[in-house]
Amino acid sequence: MKVMVVGPGAFGIKHLDGLKNIDGVDVVSLVGHNLEKARSVAEAYGIAHVADDLAEALVETDADAVILCTPTQMHAAQAIQCMEAGKHVQVEIPVADSWADAEAVMAKQKDTGLVCMVGHTRRFNPSHQWLHNRLAQGELNIQQMDVQTYFFRRKNINAKGEPRSWTDHLLWHHAAHTVDLFAYQAGSPIVQANAIQGPIHPELGIAMDMSIQMKTENGAICTLSLSFNNDGPLGTFFRYICDNGTYIARYDDLFDGKEEAIDVTQVDVSMNGIELQDREFVAAIREEREPNASISKVLPCYKVLYDLEQQLAG
């Protein structure tokens, strides 16, 4: 399978690291607005074709699929562009930063029948998979999830601490991970959601602190705290309070409520959530099926985000 990666930044490199472990996958093109940087990354990964324009690359290469690791504001338009070119597409989270754009991506997927998957990585992290398997089997039931998403981003920097030109967003990006995961793990749609936010940053134009409360149809609740002001441990930490145990997930690692590590190494073929996400994308294309984290499966998350945005604006 021939794959094109768009965006040679922090997450583009994570996908390149994952793809090299998947048999039968060849990255045939790397696209980036900074051609010099793209060429440097392409050379390190043995990628023959480099371009600074997606439309050009779609014409010049015979890629079967595209993985988009570009700024949030470009995701929806580029996902639609790739599907219009006949390419399967995986777009990094979030699929869009508006409900209208998310719906437009869904409509294009329906029109084309192509695989369109969104990078909701938490569905694939071994820690959350371990819990999902037990939740699905009825061994556990979520009573409450307590989630902290904390970064220190008073300037525009990426996951590698490098400057970037676009602004991240607590609601449309970082909350999307937890909103989707909560409904997925609870096995029930979100029926109630409320949000409050702190002051808007005078330069970045976004709220730097936010708190969200949610409830699913089956009664589980979730409290999500988000901050770009946190000068301390960074990342997202999930506490699952269940009827039969408490669990703490930190990316691919899992602990019980007493901070004792749980072995999740046998959950899947890798301990790398991004690689597992890419494996699902490739498998869905090969097997001509809908992937986990398809645009259809994650779309309800974006309706919740839109409703919260309306609430905050009102």
Instruction: Tell me the average pLDDT across 53-77.
Output: 97
- Cβ distance 185 to 259 under 8 Å? no
Instruction: Write down the pLDDT at residue 153.
Output: 76
- Cβ distance 3 to 25 under 8 Å? yes
Q: Are strands 88-92 and 245-250 parallel, antiparallel or unpaired?
A: unpaired
Instruction: Write down the pLDDT at residue 232.
Output: 85
The whole-angstrom distance between residue 300's C-alpha and the CA centroid of its chain comes to 14
Calculate the average pLDDT of the chain. 95
Q: Are strands 49-51 and 2-6 parallel, antiparallel or unpaired?
A: unpaired
Q: Which residues contact 122 (CB under 8 A, 6 or more apart)?
A: 128, 177, 178, 180, 181, 273
Instruction: Write down the pLDDT at residue 162.
Output: 66
Task: Identify the helix (H) or strand (E) that includes residue 271.
Answer: none
**Packing angle between helix 99-112 and helix 295-313, nearest 10 degrees?**
160
Residue 7 gets which letter from DSSP? -
* Paired tokens of 143: 């009573």
- Cβ distance 312 to 212 under 8 Å? no
For 186-224, how does the pLDDT look when each residue is reduced to its tens digit (9 = 90+)?
A: 999 999 999 999 999 888 888 999 999 999 999 999 999
Among the ranges given (7-11, 175-179, 200-204, 210-214), the one the predictor scored with the smallest mean pLDDT: 200-204
pLDDT band, very low/low/confident/very high, at 227 (cuts 50, 70, 90): very high
Sign of CA dihedral 271, 273, 276, 282: negative
Q: Which domains does the chain have, with CATH numbers?
A: 2-119+274-290 (3.40.50.720), 125-267 (3.30.360.10)
pLDDT at position 161 over 70:
no
- Looking up tokens 């390149």, which residue turns up? 16
- Cβ distance 6 to 78 under 8 Å? yes
pLDDT at position 8 over 90:
yes
* Paired tokens of 47: 């990628």
The CA–CA distances, whole Å, from 230 to 58, 153, 168, 171, 269 equal 40, 8, 15, 16, 34
Sign of CA dihedral 161, 117, 291, 224: positive
Among the ranges given (113-117, 154-158, 265-269), the one the predictor scored with the smallest mean pLDDT: 154-158
pLDDT at position 174 over 60:
yes
Instruction: Write down the pLDDT at residue 152.
Output: 86
Question: How far is residue 192's CA from residue 213's CA, in Å, rounded to a whole number?
Answer: 8
How would you classify residue 138: left for phi > 0, otherwise alpha for psi between -120 and 50, otherwise beta? left
For 124-157, how does the pLDDT look when each residue is reduced to its tens digit (9 = 90+)?
A: 999 999 999 999 999 999 999 999 999 887 766 6
- Cβ distance 93 to 118 under 8 Å? yes
Q: Which residues contact 96 (CB under 8 A, 6 or more apart)?
A: 72, 75, 76, 102, 104, 105, 172, 302
Q: What is the largest CA-CA distance in the chain?
A: 55
For 234-263, how does the pLDDT look when each residue is reduced to its tens digit (9 = 90+)?
A: 899 999 999 999 999 999 999 999 999 999
For 28-45, how does the pLDDT look when each residue is reduced to its tens digit (9 = 90+)?
A: 999 999 999 999 999 999
Among the ranges given (10-24, 72-86, 163-177, 241-255), the one the predictor scored with the smallest mean pLDDT: 163-177
Share of the chain above pLDDT 70, in %: 96
The CA–CA distances, whole Å, from 239 to 36, 260, 268, 310 equal 42, 14, 22, 28
Beta bridge partners of 138: none
- Cβ distance 186 to 176 under 8 Å? no
